[in-house]
Amino acid sequence: VVAAQRERGTASIVLTGGGTGIGVLTALRAAPGDIDWRALDVYFGDERFVPAADPDRNELQARDALLDHVDLDPARVHPMTPSDGEFGDDPDAAAVAYANLLTGGTGSLSDVPEFDVHLLGMGPEGHMNSIFPHSDAVREESVAVVSVRECPKPPPTRVTLTLPAVRRSKRVWFVVSGANKAEAVAAAVRGVPAVEVPSAGAYGQDATCWFVDEAAASLLPDNK
């Protein structure tokens, strides 16, 4: 992020929810380094489709952990619409609106920004953002953002970037911990089909980095 700002004067990052993802933001708040917060665009990889004040919202958790404690330009923070927002209880409309925001209204995947960093966590079954194994979302290749209903994890309705949108990122950073993630980490790194382990289909144009603890790395072939 700092390197991008030095080169272009601006940078963009996509945040993730979940315990590990929010933990990263808390750590970044304590040690922000040389980031120019006013020159940063902040997007969200997915969101729980709940009311704006619901503590389950990734946006609220990210604000509590980091965003409300640094000197961001509010106009450059781009949350997804909540279920009590302008579209009411219509996650499809919320997904289209976020796709239009990303693409300048064209809806074309080629117009999704080349994010400098997309931060991701991962579930024990290999899901990332709100893209779960064998779901319609993991098979979506034509649009940037979709709604997800009947999620295996509560809350059941969500909005998420698709894999092609994630792959517009220059760098994808996975942050994963715990022995219950080890099998999925190994499968994703091995490159199994994304329909089975969605994280296998999330990679950056320039780099994909896995930051894993010893337990999560325990099934990697070169783990010592």
pTM: 0.96
Tokens of 138: 């993991």
Instruction: Tell me the C-alpha distance between 14 and 29, whole Å.
Output: 16
Residue with tokens 């296998």: 200
Could you read off the pLDDT of 164-213 as tens digits, one per residue?
999 999 999 999 999 999 999 999 999 999 999 999 999 999 999 999 99
Strands (E), the chain: 11-15, 40-44, 46-48, 117-120, 145-148, 158-161, 171-176, 207-212
**CATH class, range 1-213:** alpha beta
> What strands, in cross-sheet order, belong to the sheet with 145-148?
46-48, 158-161, 145-148
Could you read off the pLDDT of 125-176 as tens digits, one per residue?
999 999 999 999 999 999 999 999 999 999 999 999 999 999 999 999 999 9
Domain ranges for the chain, please list them: 1-213
Query: With DSSP H G I counted as helix, E B as strand and the rest as coil, what are the percentages for the chain, rounded to 5?
Result: 35, 20, 50
